[in-house]
Amino acid sequence: MTTENFPDIKSIAYEGPASKNPLAFKHYKPDEVIEGKTMREHLRFSIVYWHTMCGQGADMFGAPTALRPWESGLSGLDLAKARVPVFFEIAEKLGMPYYAFHDRDVAPHGKTLRQSNEYLDTIVALLKEQQQRTGIKLLWGTAQLFVHPRFMHGAATSPNVEVFAYSAAQVKKALEVTHELGGEGYTFWGGREGYATLWNTDMKRELEHLAKFLHLAVDYAKEIGFKGQFYIEPKPKEPTKHQYDSDAAACLNFLREFDLLPHFKLNLETNHATLAGHSMQHEMEVAGAAGALGSLDANTGDLLLGWDTDQFLTDAPTATQMMLSLMKYGGLTTGGVNFDAKVRRESVDPEDLFFAHIGGMDTFARGLKNAAAIRADGRLSAAVKQRYSSWDGTLGKSIEQGGETFASLEKLMLEKGEATANASGRQEFLENLVNDFI
């Protein structure tokens, strides 16, 4: 049945940079080996259910624009069922090894929690069949705790204790189905875990509740034998004015404060970094230095717009920076390059879903090749090492190993009178060097 919805699109193949075929890869060659691993293994691409199947182009001023032929006349559970084979056809033709979903985007909300769970079970059986048919695996699952009005004040951070309880029940079920589908991870994105105004907010209590919630999730995962990696996905705002998981540093602080760091890594999203006023490179370095670089939601924002546009990344320099940081910290293990990205409201053809993902995959493949070339060249890392070379001498080693005090350092500097002259930071030289590889 793989040819039912896109009979004219075959499996996307690598044709090389000279190809003019918009339905071919120019850079992503899955079996090409780079630094001892195939591109497929380095990149661990993943396609998301929510944007690919549920995104219809609506925005806060306008109705859906992308009317998908496979959705015609359907609603509720029938619509949810119809989307499953289409999603896997797209994923399979793109050669995606992984996918990700929220409970309430694969299956509809029921009238009661019990009915929602039944709907979810029905769809999970279909997802399982498709996973078995295609060999595509689940990167991570998650619970959608932000669309329904019950979450207006938050989920785990709601002032309404029964909303906390409902959220717990929903995450319990989402963990069970993620486990059943062999998910390699589970993500928490706190879409409503923040505030609109501090006048009505007990921040301390809300943070404690959020930590309690995450501990309960860790306990339950242990109970059912789910060994997947837990992720927190930072984002500073939207839909709330301030979200508690605002950026990588804030997440790490929260996880450490509440003794959760051993159980969590970060799922960093490029557009969220922009909203936090950071580059993605910054976010990745913060997470990497803490040993918490877990997974990537691969997209981009528009620097002229202040919101989460979730566009496909087509910018090779950004992808190069991202792949350099990733490789520096050992690459992806449980995580992936997950396309949390959507086609524009004006891109209404189903084929646009293919062009978008092909572009994203090729961009990260270019980033990977560029990063590997920069690493093989060695001048960039050598320059950084050289910049800190004074620390490799007797004094530097002694400070690093705890052999000095303020008094001993004062004695030394009183004798010397002045520190050795500083060397150039060579920013422009290094920017030019990196540019030579892009």
State the residues that interact with Co ion by CB under 5 A.
Answer: 269, 297, 340
CB 286 to Co ion: min, Å: 17
Is 46 within 8 Å of 38 (Cβ atoms)? no
x-marked contacts with ligand XUL along 348-377 as a string, rule CB under 6 A: ------------------------------
Q: Which of 103, 184, 233, 285 binds ligand XUL (CB under 6 A)?
A: 233
Question: What does the CA dihedral 259, 247, 192, 98 come to, rounded to 10 degrees?
Answer: -90
CB 107 to ligand XUL: min, Å: 15
CB 48 to ligand XUL: min, Å: 7
Selected catalytic residue, list 27, 42, 102, 272: 102
- Dihedral-angle region of residue 240 (phi above 0 means left; psi in -120 to 50 means alpha; beta otherwise): beta
CB under 5 to 8 A by kind: which of Co ion, ligand XUL, none does 240 bind? none
Q: Is 436 a catalytic residue?
A: no
* 34 or 251: CB nearest Co ion: 251
* 26 or 357: CB nearest Co ion: 357
* 191 or 228: CB nearest Co ion: 191
- Cα–Cα dist 99/87, whole Å: 10
CB 343 to ligand XUL: min, Å: 15
* 245 or 340: CB nearest Co ion: 340
Residues in the interface with ligand XUL (CB under 6 A) total: 10
- Encode the chain in three state secondary structure: CCCCCCCCCCCCEECCCCCCCCCEECCCCCCCEECCEEHHHHHCEEEEHHHHHHCCCCECCECCCCCCHHHCCCCHHHHHHHHHHHHHHHHHHHCCCEEEEEHHHHCCCCCCHHHHHHHHHHHHHHHHHHHHHHCCEEEEEECCCCCCHHHCCCCCCCCCHHHHHHHHHHHHHHHHHHHHCCCCEEEECCCCCEECCHHHCCHHHHHHHHHHHHHHHHHHHHHHCCCCEEEECCCCCCCCCEECCCCHHHHHHHHHHCCCHHHEEEEEEHHHHHHCCCCHHHHHHHHHHCCCEEEEECCECCCCCCCCCCECCCCHHHHHHHHHHHHHCCCCCCCCEEECCCCCCCCCCCHHHHHHHHHHHHHHHHHHHHHHHHHHHCHHHHHHHHHCHHHHCHHHHHHHCCCCCHHHHHHHHHHHCCCCCCCCCCHHHHHHHHHCCC
Q: Which of 308, 318, 322, 341 binds ligand XUL (CB under 6 A)?
A: 308
* 184 or 297: CB nearest Co ion: 297
Q: Which of 116, 117, 142, 157 binds ligand XUL (CB under 6 A)?
A: 142
Q: Any contact of residue 340 with ligand XUL (CB under 6 A)?
A: yes
Selected catalytic residue, list 105, 247, 297, 340: 105
* 176 or 308: CB nearest ligand XUL: 308
Q: Any contact of residue 103 with ligand XUL (CB under 6 A)?
A: no
Angle at 51 between CA 20 and CA 125, to 5 degrees: 110
Tokens of 178: 């993620």
* 250 or 438: CB nearest ligand XUL: 250
Q: Any contact of residue 342 with ligand XUL (CB under 6 A)?
A: no
Q: Of residues 44-83, which lie at the interface with ligand XUL (CB under 6 A)?
A: none
What are phi and psi for residue 378, nearest 5 degrees?
A: 85, -10
x-marked contacts with ligand XUL along 244-283 as a string, rule CB under 6 A: -------------------------x--------------
CB under 5 to 8 A by kind: which of Co ion, ligand XUL, none does 235 bind? ligand XUL
Q: Is 102 a catalytic residue?
A: yes
Rounded to a whole number of angstroms, the CA Rg of the chain reads: 24
Question: 194-195 and 229-232 as β-strands: parallel, antiparallel, unpaired?
Answer: unpaired
CB 298 to Co ion: min, Å: 9
CB under 5 to 8 A by kind: which of Co ion, ligand XUL, none does 285 bind? none
Q: Of residues 171-210, which lie at the interface with ligand XUL (CB under 6 A)?
A: 187, 189
Q: Which residue is nearest to ligand XUL (CB)?
A: 189
Q: Which of 71, 184, 285, 297 binds ligand XUL (CB under 6 A)?
A: 297
CB 142 to ligand XUL: min, Å: 5
Q: Any contact of residue 235 with ligand XUL (CB under 6 A)?
A: yes
* 17 or 149: CB nearest ligand XUL: 149
Q: Which residues are catalytic?
A: 102, 105
Binding-site ranges for ligand XUL (CB under 6 A): 102, 142, 187, 189, 233, 235, 269, 297, 308, 340
